[in-house]
Structure 1
Amino acid sequence: MTRRAQWASYLLVAGALLLVMLTGLLAGLLCVCLAFLATRHLGRRLTSLAPRLPSGVALQIGAVLVVLAPLALLFLAWTRARGMIIDAPSQYRELLNFLAATVMELRQKLPPGIADLVPDGIAEMQRMIAGYLGTKAGSLAMASRAWLVGLAHAYIGLAVGALAATRPRLHPPALKPLAAALYERAVAFGAVFRQIVVAQFWIAAFNALLTAVFLLVLLPLWDAHLPYRPALITFTFLAGLIPIVGNLMCNLVLTLVGLSVSPTVALACLVFLVVIHKGEYFINAKVIGHRMRFGVWELLAVMFTMEAVFGPAGLVAAPLFYAYLKQELGARGWV
């Protein structure tokens, strides 16, 4: 493999990742990787369960399962899922407006003894936060089409990743120099995706499941019913895909919504979130361990920078892209 081919592969991959962020194809890229890994995993499991089954046929069966699984889930929950999928932007717009109103009524929501301790100068901060939330709610008014396009990109990514996984495994020595270099980049990116994104996906699912139990089972037992529960559960899962910052966002949103019911419910929400996030740290240590070889300050700096440049998608992409960059630099002995 020539040095020129290696540098060309770096430039091509960097350009492709930048193009993904600029064109809003991050969901499609993540689903390509996820479907590829899921298809290969299912293929190995089917081969182990049925040793006489050819590996190519096992991969094809795995690809069919990966592609049809979202459609099957959508069909089984069609009456409820259709409204959640189509009306998701409007639901979150209403939630943001609700949070803005709760922030403005903060003093009225607190008990008298605590409300007296709130300084008068906080009113300006309340207006700033409420104005920010209102701005974000207004931007969601035009997001319905983009939301459906994103879902379409994600499903197309699933199909592309599943089909790519059914192809025979490549052998770098038999490839041309540039193709072999690009294959190395793809393998490195896939390894980082497997280490970080897949683990974060299961952590987010764990958070969302416990939040659903808390909102739908535990709070109703105390005769407390939070508004926008489906939106809050979905938000918990999506925010859980973002390390560190996602936890803070969940804490803030659920506590504010709980405060709209009563200070006691807000305190219960806060305590619950702290407990499950401590559980998340335990799972994070078990699943990821020391694979994310960068400090918290590095991750936060990269996340805030990418959010400023690319918006919310930058928050999701930052851990993956930064870990991939450090792995490539580490492989060359530069870091």
Structure 2
Amino acid sequence: MTSTNFPPAAPEFSTTRAIVVVLWVCAFWFSVLALHLTPAVFAILITYGSTSRLARHLKTWRPSLRHTEGIALLFVLSVLGLGFGTALEYVVESSKSTAGLPALLERLSQVLDQLRLALPAALSAHLPASIDAVRATATTWLQNHAGQLQTWGGHTIRGVGYVLAGAVVGGLLSIQLPATKSEHTDKPLPRLIRQRFDELIESFTHIVFAQFKISTVNTLATAILLLGVLPALGTPIPLAGTLVGITFVAGLIPIVGNLVSNSIIVAIAISQSLTMATLALVWLVLIHKVEYFLNAHIIGSRIRSKAWELLLIMLVMEALFGLAGLVTAPVLYAQIKNTLYAQGWLD
């Protein structure tokens, strides 16, 4: 009498569990995006994730140190407050100065004038005739969209409030949430919620800190070009400091951010000379190639994904939810892939 070996039922349970978890992740993020709570959720995750990571380092460095979460939270809030205050001060000062963002817009307008002269008539006819035309068009647009701009202003104020509220919630979580992981929780529902929360924090911190490293490297390389190489060659580029700041902020958005900052830098360089534009373009292309491998090493090793995968999910999320979807896409994708790896769906 021969016996039949039946396959175990565990893979079916794992498949069902993976589908449920992926649907839960998508439902969570789609709800956040639909309710426009992305700033609040990101503030919660940044505050909690940074505080928890710093507290762990403090405990490793000084095991006898007490109140590590409180010390870490105070440091994180101080850094965030300093960064926010510095950015606000820069925006206010640049609005009064000729060396900030207004000068950048003025330079871009001059680039349009030069392009109008260089391009064929059929193409240049679609460009503004002068800087005054640009200003007139902008003024007309502002007048026609005054109500929409007022709504945007309200959304901006609301977004700042969401960020502050999220920072408070993240700080309270870092102090009051037990440090034990989900597997050490007895009750099923708290264990499930904590497990999902731990996965979210892990995916978020992997993406954010990895992208921060990439943006820092890209900004340093760009600063070498704008503040070192070009001035040494006797061809300094205008608004170099502003462009370096834009490079860092834009670089926090994977893939797309660097395309934006690089386009602005090349456009400014074109207004100076073709040689400067060519040098800037070659340098930025080399930086982009280095960053591509860096991106694959840092982010790809964390969530084991290719650049085209991230770009595709970012395009879809941007089409569905706009800028908030674009920023959220890497975190959503990282959390989904980590879940699929954990359940054995991916090798």
> TM over 0.5, yes or no?
yes
Q: What is the aligned partner in structure 1 of residue 108 from structure 2?
A: 99
Q: What is the aligned partner in structure 2 of residue 111 from structure 1?
A: none
State the percentage of identical aligned residues.
32
How many angstroms apart in 1 are the aligned matches of 2:317 and 2:174? Answer: 30
CA contact (8 A) 1:67 1:159 kept: no
Q: Does 1:63 align with 2:107?
A: no
CA contact (8 A) 1:292 1:323 kept: yes
CA contact (8 A) 1:27 1:153 kept: yes
Q: What is the aligned partner in structure 2 of residue 21 from structure 1?
A: 33
Task: Report the alpha carbon displacement of residue 46 of structure 1 after superposing the two structures with TM.
Answer: 2.1
Residue aligned with 2:243, SS: helix
Q: What is the aligned partner in structure 2 of residue 300 from structure 1?
A: 311
Q: What letter is aligned with 1:66?
A: V
Instruction: State the TM-score, normalized to the length of structure 2.
Output: 0.73
How many angstroms apart in 2 are the aligned matches of 1:293 and 1:287? Answer: 9
Alignment of 1:150-189 (within 5 A): 150-166=159-175, 167-170=177-180, 171-172=182-183, 174-189=185-200
How many angstroms apart in 2 are the aligned matches of 1:296 and 1:163? Answer: 36
CA contact (8 A) 2:110 2:271 kept: no
Classify 1:101/1:304 alpha carbon distance in 2 versus 1 (closer, same or farther; 3 Å). Answer: farther
Alignment of 1:1-335 (within 5 A): 13-54=25-66, 57-73=67-83, 77=86, 80-81=89-90, 83=92, 95=104, 99=108, 102-103=111-112, 105-106=114-115, 108=117, 115=118, 121-123=122-124, 143=152, 146-166=155-175, 167-170=177-180, 171-172=182-183, 174-334=185-345
- Give RMSD over aligned pairs: 4.1
Residue aligned with 1:105, SS: helix
Q: What letter is aligned with 1:324?
A: Q
Give structure 1 stretches of 5+ with no counterpart. Answer: 109-114
Q: Which moved more, 1:8-17 or 1:184-193?
A: 8-17
Task: Report the alpha carbon displacement of residue 199 of structure 1 after superposing the two structures with TM.
Answer: 0.2
The C-alpha deviation readout for 1:153-174, integer Å capped at 9, x for no partner, is: 3344333323312232244453
How many angstroms apart in 1 are the aligned matches of 2:262 and 2:71? Answer: 41
How many angstroms apart in 2 are the aligned matches of 1:164 and 1:324? Answer: 20
Task: Report the alpha carbon displacement of residue 223 of structure 1 after superposing the two structures with TM.
Answer: 4.8
How many angstroms apart in 2 are the aligned matches of 1:262 and 1:60? Answer: 54
How many angstroms apart in 1 are the aligned matches of 2:271 and 2:205? Answer: 40
How many angstroms apart in 2 are the aligned matches of 1:284 and 1:14? Answer: 25
Classify 1:255/1:6 alpha carbon distance in 2 versus 1 (closer, same or farther; 3 Å). Answer: closer
The C-alpha deviation readout for 1:94-146, integer Å capped at 9, x for no partner, is: 756753662453153xxxxxx5xx6655447768xxx9xx88x9689655554
The C-alpha deviation readout for 1:3-23, integer Å capped at 9, x for no partner, is: 999988766653331232234
Classify 1:145/1:63 alpha carbon distance in 2 versus 1 (closer, same or farther; 3 Å). Answer: same
The C-alpha deviation readout for 1:41-83, integer Å capped at 9, x for no partner, is: 22122223332223xx1111111111122334566x5994362
How many angstroms apart in 1 are the aligned matches of 2:53 and 2:40? Answer: 20
CA contact (8 A) 2:303 2:338 kept: no
Task: Report the alpha carbon displacement of residue 148 of structure 1 after superposing the two structures with TM.
Answer: 4.9
How many angstroms apart in 2 are the aligned matches of 1:190 and 1:30? Answer: 10
Q: Which moved more, 1:312-321 or 1:11-20?
A: 11-20
Classify 1:261/1:144 alpha carbon distance in 2 versus 1 (closer, same or farther; 3 Å). Answer: farther
Task: Report the alpha carbon displacement of residue 186 of structure 1 after superposing the two structures with TM.
Answer: 1.6
Number of equivalent positions: 318
How many angstroms apart in 1 are the aligned matches of 2:89 and 2:221? Answer: 20
Q: Based on CA coordinates, which of the two structures has the bigger radius of gyration?
A: 2
Q: What letter is aligned with 1:83?
A: V
